[in-house]
Structure formats: structure tokens, C-alpha cells
Structure 1
Amino acid sequence: MQATHDSTTFEKKKFPIVLILDGISSPANMGSLFRLADAFGIEKLIFCENPVDLKSNRLKRTARATIKNVLFEERENSQAVCMELKLEGYKILALEVASGSIPVQEMHFQNQDKVALVLGNESRGVKKEILEMADDLLHIEMFGDNSSMNVTHAGAIALFEITKRLQPVR
């Protein structure tokens, strides 16, 4: 029998992870990112460059009830957000296939690391200026002909790998 939300035995955890969403524009992707943030116990989402329309039926359908549980902010400038978080001690990680990027599963973390993971716009990816200021560039190894995937799928894979390596906040 399929488990319900109330009958799972998953242990709730919070991870010191902030998702910086650099120009994400699709309501479906925004809704999926709320679900991912809830599923992986991250601190918050920071939507940059594009407003979040919480009245969008597509966003609400995709996010389900997670909009109520997940902290989020809307900010104008993703670079400024990255700089602020860097000053607060966050490690800025950009998820992008780029020169010098490493596979996400090869990234090493210390127990006290705070992570700001930057996910880029659906067509343009992460801004060049953010790639240049990031502490590390990460990519997901792919084995087909394509070199990209949907931003929410990529975010899910990255969060899975990162949370496996980070200790939750106690």
C-alpha cells in the first residue's frame, strides 16, 4: 500500500543550503523548485530577476502545499545576492556545464559548510558574472548527446548529491 504524507517514516532534517534561482521564469519550474526545497529540507529559495506569481495555477498545481512550508524571497539582482551570501560565509556553487566545472558527486564539503547553489535560466543558464565569482562550478555527468537537462531535474540531482555529503543543521 502506498504511504501517505502522514504515514512516512522519513526523518525531518534541515540543511544549510540556499537555492539562488538566477532568472528562472517558468511557473511549472518555480512550483517544482518549491517541492524540491521542501523535499530536501533546504533553508530557502531566492528567486532573482523574475517575479514569482503565487496566483499562477500552474505554479500552485506543481508546488502543491509546499508554498506554505518553504521560505522564499524575491530579489532583483542575483549577483548581489551571491555577494551577500558569500560575505555571510556561504560557499557559492553554480550548476553549469562550463570550463573548469567538476561533477557534483566529486564535490567535498566540510561539516560546517553553508551552501548557496545557483541554478540558471531555462535557456541562458547561469550568468557569466556569477560563474566567474562562484567558489566552484558543478555539473552533472550525462551520457547522451545532449549537454543540458531541465533546471528542476538538474537541481534535484545536485541537491541529492549535496545533501548526501552535508550534515543537517541540528
Structure 2
Amino acid sequence: MLLKTDMQLNHSQNKFSNKKFPVTLILDHISGEANIGSIFRLSDAFHVEEIIFCGIEPNLNSNRLKKTSRSTHEYVDFRYLENSTAIVQQKKAEGYKITALEITQNSIPLQKLQLQTSEKIVLIAGHENFGISEEILDLCDQTVHIPMFGNNSSMNVAQSIGISLYEITKSLIP
């Protein structure tokens, strides 16, 4: 008889720390309810400070959003602001490093992002079809992209945020 030595843990049994990271997400016109629900869930998993929705207010009554968020939309800090430019300027004045997640002529691979331990960062992601507006890109301190090796030139916004939060939080752990 084989003994099972690697048992799955439930939420109360895991050994993960409850560290909050100095990361704020600004979502520039993201509209997909499944994406928004997934972003809430990722924001909880990586314990970001706040999600700021800009341009398009999330429909928190959406069953699709509720299902994909697995109730994280009920306790992850978030707010809605119509004007993304103003909040980016405010966060910059507060000392946040403003980072766009977008493929551009000057973007650097995400893994080459240089962060200091506990550095405050804003990660901006854009609309599922149109990306981040030029006006917002012009306000950013840096632009990063996720290297891809297939034929497609884009990735699902929630998946790209998940990959980015992993890399960013990895850099911020002392």
C-alpha cells in the first residue's frame, strides 16, 4: 500500500505570507467581464494595493465577473475614475514608478525590468483590442512587454497581468 505524502492544502492550511505589495493596477478602458473578474482574483493572489478602473466602470453585477473573481471583487480594494490621465499624474507625484504593459518600439522585456525592493509601482494595462492610449503611454516612466514566441502579437490582458504581477512581486521580495 502506497502512502500519499503530498496532500493538497486548503486556504487555512497554506503557508503563504500575507504580504501586501506596493503595486497599483490602472486598467485603461478594460471592458471584458471575465478579464475583470480574473484581474480581481490575480490582485488578491498577489495582494496588490488597489485596482483603479479608468474609462469604463466595471459591472459588478455581472454573473460572469462574479464567477471568475470567486468573490475577490468583494474585498480587493478598487475604485473607478473616469480620467486615467489625472490618476497617472497623481501616482507619479506620489513617487510611483509608472509602468505600461504594452508592446511598443521602446518597450523592454518584462524580465529586464529593474526594481528596487519595496519600490512603489503602477502597472497600467489597456483595452483588450486597442491597448493603452497614446496619451497614457506618454506619461509612463517605462514600457514593458512579455516576450512571445508564436505567431500572435498579443496575449489576453488578464493572463499578461498575472505574468507581470509574478515578475514584479518576485523583484520586490527582499
Once the two structures are superposed, the pairs formed by residues 128-143 of structure 1 within 5 Å of their partners are 128-143=134-149
2:86 is aligned with what amino acid?
A
**Match of 1:122, SS?**
coil
Separation in 1, partners of 2:71, 2:11:
12
Task: Give the percent of matched residue pairs that are identical in Structure 1 and Structure 2.
Answer: 51
Shift of 1:87: 0.7
Separation in 1, partners of 2:104, 2:62:
33
Separation in 1, partners of 2:79, 2:53:
6
Separation in 1, partners of 2:58, 2:158:
16
- Number of aligned residue pairs: give it: 168
Separation in 2, partners of 1:42, 1:149:
21
Q: Structure 2 residue aligned with 1:70, among 73, 76, 81? A: 76
1:133 is aligned with what amino acid?
L
Q: 5+ unaligned residues in a row in structure 2: which ranges?
A: 1-6
Shift of 1:151: 0.1
1:52 corresponds to 2:71? no
Flag as ranges the 4+ runs of structure 1 deviating above 2 A.
none
Report the equivalent of 2:14. 8
**Match of 2:35, SS?**
helix
Separation in 2, partners of 1:2, 1:26:
32
1:66 is aligned with what amino acid?
T
Shift of 1:78: 1.2
Structure 1, residues 64-90: CA drift from partner, whole Å, max 9, x if none?
A: 121222100000011111111001111
Once the two structures are superposed, the pairs formed by residues 43-122 of structure 1 within 5 Å of their partners are 43-122=49-128
**Match of 2:135, SS?**
helix
Report the equivalent of 1:157. 163
TM-score by length of 1: 0.95
| Rg larger in structure | 2
Structure 1, residues 64-117: CA drift from partner, whole Å, max 9, x if none?
A: 121222100000011111111001111100000001100111011112421000
Separation in 2, partners of 1:117, 1:72:
14
Q: CA RMSD in A?
A: 1.1
**Match of 1:100, SS?**
coil
Report the equivalent of 2:28. 22
Partners of 2:99 and 2:143 within 8 A in 1: yes
Report the equivalent of 2:3. none
Separation in 1, partners of 2:43, 2:151:
29
1:127 is aligned with what amino acid?
S
Partners of 2:125 and 2:131 within 8 A in 1: yes
